[in-house]
Amino acid sequence: MKFTLSWLRDHLETSATADEICATLNRIGLEVEHVEQLGAQLAPFRTARILEAIQHPNADRLRVCKVDAGPDLGEVQVVCGAPNARAGIAVIFAPPGTYVPGSDITIKAGKIRGEASGGMLCSLRELGLGQETDGIAELPEDTLPGESYADFAGLDDTVIEIAVTPNRGDALAIYGIARDLAAAGIGELKPFLADTVEGTFECPISWSISYPEACPWVLGRTVRGVKNGPSPKWLRDKLESVGLRSISTLVDITNLFTIDLGRPLHVFDADRIKGNTLSLCRGGNETVRALDGKDYIVTAEDCVIADGAGVQSIAGIMGGSDTEVTDRTTDVFVECALFDPVRIALTGRRLGISSDARYRFERGVDQAMPVAALEAATRLIMDLCGGEASEVVSAGNQPHWQRDARLRFERISALGGLDIAPEEAVVILGHLGFETKLRDEHSVTVAVPSWRNDVAQPVVLDPAPTLSPEQCMVLESAVAHIEPECDLIEEILRIKGLDQVAPIPLPPVSTVPGVSMTPARTRVARVRRVLATRGLLETIGFSFIAHEEAAKFGDAPESLRLLNPIAADLDQMRPTPLPGLLAAVRRNTARGWPDLGLFEIGAGFAEDGQTTIVAGLRSGRTPRQPGGGGEVMTFMAARADATDVLTSLGVSSDALTITADAPKYYHPGRSGILRLGPKTVLAAFGELHPSLLQDAGFEVPVVAFEIFLDRISDPKKRRRTAPDFSALQPVRRDFAFLVRNDTPVDSVLRAARGAERALITGVSLFDIYEGSKLPDGQKSIGIEVTLQPESVSLTDAEIEKVSEKVVAAVAKATNAVLRS
Is 252 annotated as a binding-site member? Answer: no
Rounded CA gap, 37 and 160, in Å?
9
Q: Find, among 92, 81, 93, 95, the residue nearest to 53 by Cα.
A: 81
Angle between helices 422-431 and 174-183 (to 10 degrees): 160
The Cα–Cα gap between 405 and 407 comes to 7
Task: Give Cα separations from 634 to 248, 619, 652 (angstroms).
Answer: 78, 9, 24
Q: How many residues does the chain have?
A: 820
Residues 6+ apart with CB under 8 A from 608: none
As to burial, measured by CB atoms within 10 angstroms (0-12 exposed, 13-18 middle, 19+ buried), residue 476 is middle
Nearest residue to 369 (alpha-carbon basis) of 95, 520, 179: 179
Task: Give the burial string for 281-302 (b: 16+ CB within 10 Å, else e).
Answer: bbbeeeebebbeeeebebeeeb
Q: How far apart are CA 40 and CA 116, in angstroms?
A: 29
Residues linked to residue 615 through DSSP beta bridges, in sequence order: 600, 706
What's the CA gap between 493 and 499, in Å, rounded?
Answer: 9
CB-CB contact of 531 with 683 (8 Å): no
Cα 64 to Cα 204: distance, rounded to the nearest angstrom: 63
Which residues, 6+ apart, have CB-to-CB distance to 342 below 8 Å? 362
687 annotated to bind ligand: no
Which one, of 308, 301, 307, 273, lies nearest residue 285 by Cα? Answer: 301
Q: H-helix or E-strand containing 601?
A: strand 596-606
Q: Where are the beta strands (DSSP E) in 315-363?
A: 318-319, 331-338
Decide: 726 and 780 in contact? Cβ < 8 Å.
no
Residue 487 annotated as part of some ligand binding site: yes
Looking from the CA of 132 toward its CB, the CA atoms found within 13 Å total 0
**Which has the closest alpha carbon to 617: 536, 676, 695?**
536
The closest alpha carbon to 341, from 437, 478, 215, 212, belongs to 215
271 is in an annotated binding site: no
* Measured CA angle at 490 (ends 488, 492), to 5 deg: 70
Angle at 167 between CA 162 and CA 170, to 5 degrees: 65
What is the SS3 string spanning 127-163? CCCCCCCCCCCCECCCCCCCCEHHHHCCCCCEEEEEC
Between CA 818 and CA 820 the distance in angstroms is: 6
Inter-residue contact 404 to 447 (CB < 8 Å): yes
750: number of CA atoms within 13 Å, CB side? Answer: 14
Distances (CA, A) of 819 to 624, 696, 739, 775, 783: 34, 42, 9, 11, 12
Binding residues for Mg(2+): 454, 487, 490-491
Binding residues: 454, 487, 490-491
